[in-house]
Amino acid sequence: SSKRSEGARFVRMPKADGDAKLLIQSLNKAYAATPTNLKIIDLYVFFAMVTALVQVGYMGVVGSFPFNSFLSGVLSCIGTAVLAVCLRIQVNKDNKEFKDLPPERAFADFVLCNLVLHLVIINFLG
Amino acid sequence: NAFGGVLCAFTLILIGVLAFSIRLFSVIKYESVIHEFDPYFNFRVTQFLSKNGIYEFWNWFDDRTWYPLGRVIGGTVYPGLTLTAGSIWWFVNALNIPLSVETVCVFTAPIFSAIASWATYLLTKEAKGTGAGLMAAAILAMVPSYISRSVAGSYDNEAVAIFALVFTFYLYVKTLNTGSLFYATLNALSYFYMVCSWGGYTFIINLIPMHVLLCIVTGRYSSRLYIAYAPLVILGTLLAALVPVVGFNAVLTSEHFASFLVFIILHVVAFVYYIKGLLTPRLFKMAMTLVITVGLAVCFAVVAILVALVASSPTKGWSGRSLSLLDPTYASKYIPIIASVSEHQPPTWPSYFMDINVLAFLVPAGIISCFLPLSDASSFMVLYLVTAVYFSGVMVRLMLVLAPAACILSGIALSSAFDVLTRSMKFQLSKLFDDGPAISGNGSPNGSSASTVNTSSSKNEKTEKSEAAPKEKQSKKNRRKDKEVTESVSVKPKKEKRLSVLPLEASIVSTLLLIALGGFYVVHCVWAAAEAYSAPSIVLTSRSREGLHVFDDFREAYAWLSHNTDVDDKVASWWDYGYQTTAMANRTVIVDNNTWNNTHIATVGTAMSSPEKAAWEIFDSLDVKYVLVVFGGLVGYPSDDINKFLWMVRIGGGEFPHIKEPDYLRDGQYRVDAQATPTMLNCLMYKLCYYRFVETDGKGFDRVRGYEIGKKHFKLTHFEEVFTTHHWMVRIYKLKPQKNRIRGKLKKLKSSSKTSSTLAAGRKKNPWQ
């Protein structure tokens, strides 16, 4: 901030845009470096969140009755997204805490948790 | 090692046996009977479940309470306890062991306290190791606060709920320590069991978010924290919504909002950490400034909307009971029913010493020990204790939630203390016997280690004890070469700088004193279990010159009711006795301990506070046939209806303004003697309690109040006495039916009916006028 002077103020606005562009570019570059399996998980998370948003939008249109169906639908999407993020954390090779965990075990836990989640969902769906 | 494991398992079995047996005093002193009031309701529900199966239980509409409203049992009861006992009964009977439902119900609580102490062992082991775990388990097996709610016969929600609470916390801490999604799933399932069992589950769903927030704020965020918390919120909310009692409250009430808020905060923090990992520090700083300016505005708007939504509801979305926890004066101002329950009063200072005894001194030591070193698990223990202490200060009943926390921290404290003391003793004794070169391999390292470390006198002890450590290591693994020993010794003094060693005499004396402290604790616990907390309160005893005198009046009265009245007769009494009446006498009652409808209770309270005629009208409108009152004046039983009468007035007056409390007090004092107000002397409760009381001793001396009653000779006009128990403790009256013909009142009725014919035509004239 000490580098900023009176004159630099005039170029602040376009600099912010340039900052944002630089930011997005570097984010894209860093993200492109992640391994493919993690990208697949990220895609799954994104898909789940979009489904949840679509359900919320649908509820806004037709009303929230029956409420338990709405809750179970939305929470199932958010639930699998959260569990997929947990799987990503455990499978990510950059995570030193989980380097002893075989990825098969992580995936098995993921499947088990999803099983319990969807059992509850089907019960609650009504 | 194997020997340690076997010893540990054996100790745990002994602790389980201890927990089970210390709760059996009531069965030995009295009989295998269900205690108090609430357990009778749970027992009745379990009986229904065992007779009719689970589908009938889920859909059960009970028409024998809260006449004429009824109660939806399936939707208003926490099913965990009854389902647990029901499954145990079914399983045992499937093995052809013919245990009755009552036996299973009576012994459910001791069994689950044994299992709860094992859960405490597991939880403390996660925080501080096996020694602390065993200590905490042993302490929990005996702590009087837990005994008071889980004695054999006390078949109440807390019997299984405390086990569920500790086990859920154990699974949470285990997930936090290992980061395994499997334990996270188990954690959610255990939380589900807790929601099924007790209304106190809101404590869990607020404590865990608080701890997550604490970890984030103190910079201890890790991916294990995310795995421990995020699946729990989603799965836990869904599972909680599955239980009919909770239903949509799991997402709509303020008690759960904390978990959602922390869920969002956790995701934001996780995302920030992720981006931080992707970008360089300079770019990250840029991103932060950009996001903060934009994000802050959006955040502010969202929070404002949320606050407006919540503030628009009158109780800000909290239930009455939760509000009375946060603001202890709330209940006494707005909801007299909550304030009148004796369990909801704040505890007195002596009750802390009575209920957790020696632990009150050990807990601060445990808190300090948790900070050396501070881990996620130990910070969780400290947070649990602090919140539990606050809530126990608001309501006596919540001392029960404090008990496991106090036991865990005391176990940690005692274990660390014994650690230091035994280490000192071992070291000092080895120094004492180490004068000659008897122990191998320590002669040379002695000299070299002294040279590698500072030779100041204060550090001498540390070098000596640091060689004691490698000496122990040598005895365990015999492969250390001298060089490695010297290297490890030169490294060790830096790591073990904080270990301290006490002189021999001090450690021996301290150990003995600590053991004596434990001895006092055990003696107190056994005394409390035997004398204070084993009374079934449905049977009373007293010692006299002739020996033990038993007062079995309650069961006598209920048995009379069940044998001498019709099945469909309605019985009115104060709400305390509702559960017992439906369970033992099998008659329909007007109000019972569930206290869900304040107006209905106020109606009964008004009837008890009104004169005979008005009371008869109220009871007749409710189809009541019998009225039951509890009176302790003959034998000195202090919890009778006359002592509770002011609450009836207050609750009745809360709904029906013509009942005013000052009418029943003389100069602000509540009396029933000759100085009592006419309103008091004419009300139904006074008349029903003291009818013919003067016949017992000629003077009408009330043993509980300690004076002679005011109105001694009177007749009842609208009620007739049908039964009084042996010690006059329960008195049952029947409503007199209306007279068929009314003599000499026809002219009056005709003239008054002409003037009032313009009024409501169908209004029933009371024939008693």
Residue predicted with more confidence, A80 or B669: A80
pLDDT of residue B602: 92
What is the rounded distance in angstroms from the CA atom of residue B617 to the CA atom of residue B135?
A: 62
Is the complex ipTM more than 0.85? yes
pLDDT band at A9 (very low <50, low <70, confident <90, very high): very low
pLDDT band at B331 (very low <50, low <70, confident <90, very high): low
CB contact under 8 A, B277 and A94: yes
Q: How far is CA A69 from the centre of its chain?
A: 23
pLDDT of residue B479: 41
Residue type for position B372: L
Neighbours of B539 (CB within 10 A): 18
The residue range of the domain holding A78 is 16-125
Q: B723-739: per-residue pLDDT in tens? A: 999 999 999 999 998 87
Does any CB of chain A come closer than 8 Å to the CB of residue B238? yes
Option in A20, A68, A75 nearest B234 (CB): A75
Question: Taking the CA of residue B152 as centre, how many other CA atoms within 13 Å lie in the half-sphere pointing to its CB?
Answer: 23
Instruction: Check pLDDT > 80 for residue B239.
Output: yes
pLDDT of residue B322: 67
- Whether A11 is covered by a domain: the verdict is no
* Least confident interval from B158-162, B267-271, B428-432, B472-476: B472-476
Instruction: Check pLDDT > 60 for residue B763.
Output: no
pLDDT band at B538 (very low <50, low <70, confident <90, very high): confident
Domain locations along chain B? 550-735
Total domains in the fold of chain A: 1
Q: Which stretches within B198-248 are classed as H helix? A: 201-217, 223-242
Instruction: Check pLDDT > 90 for residue B138.
Output: yes
For B244, counting Cβ atoms within 10 Å of its Cβ (0-12 exposed, 13-18 middle, 19+ buried), the class is middle
pLDDT of residue B451: 37
- Whether A5 is covered by a domain: the verdict is no
CB contact under 8 A, B234 and A78: yes
Instruction: Check pLDDT > 70 for residue A62.
Output: yes
- Whether A24 is covered by a domain: the verdict is yes
What is the rounded distance in angstroms from the CA atom of residue B500 to the CA atom of residue B417?
A: 11
Q: B278-324: per-residue pLDDT in tens? A: 777 777 777 777 777 777 777 788 778 777 766 766 555 566 666 66
Mean pLDDT for B60-69 is 90
Mean pLDDT for A99-106 is 88
Mean pLDDT for B670-680 is 86
What is the rounded distance in angstroms from the CA atom of residue B600 to the CA atom of residue B646?
A: 17
Per-residue DSSP letter, B583: I
pLDDT of residue B675: 85
What is the rounded distance in angstroms from the CA atom of residue B301 to the CA atom of residue B309?
A: 12
Identify the H or E element spanning B442. Answer: none
Kindly list the residues from chain B whose CB atom is less than 8 angstroms away from the CB atom of residue A23: 279, 283, 286-287, 290
Mean pLDDT for B126-151 is 92
pLDDT band at B445 (very low <50, low <70, confident <90, very high): very low
Residue predicted with more confidence, B744 or B152: B152
What is the rounded distance in angstroms from the CA atom of residue B229 to the CA atom of residue B259?
A: 9
- Whether A7 is covered by a domain: the verdict is no
What is the rounded distance in angstroms from the CA atom of residue B683 to the CA atom of residue A71?
A: 53
Query: Would you say A86 and A110 are in contact if contact means Cβ atoms under 8 Å apart?
Result: yes
Structure tokens at B391: 């809530």
pLDDT of residue B208: 95
- Whether A79 is covered by a domain: the verdict is yes
C-alpha distance from residue A35 to each of A38, A85, B227, B279 (Å): 6, 15, 21, 16
pLDDT of residue B491: 42
Distance from CA of A72 to the nearest CA of B (A): 7
What is the rounded distance in angstroms from the CA atom of residue B724 to the CA atom of residue B736?
A: 17
pLDDT of residue B766: 60
Structural domain B550-735, CATH architecture? 3-Layer(aba) Sandwich (3.40)
CB contact under 8 A, B290 and A20: yes
pTM for this entry: 0.84
Task: Suggest the residue from B191, B224, B238 to mutate for an interface test with chain A (most A CBs closer than 10 A).
Answer: B238
Q: B192-237: per-residue pLDDT in tens? A: 999 999 988 999 999 999 999 999 999 888 889 999 999 999 999 9
C-alpha torsion A10→A14→A17→A22, nearest 10 = -100
Q: B629-653: per-residue pLDDT in tens? A: 999 888 888 888 999 999 999 999 8
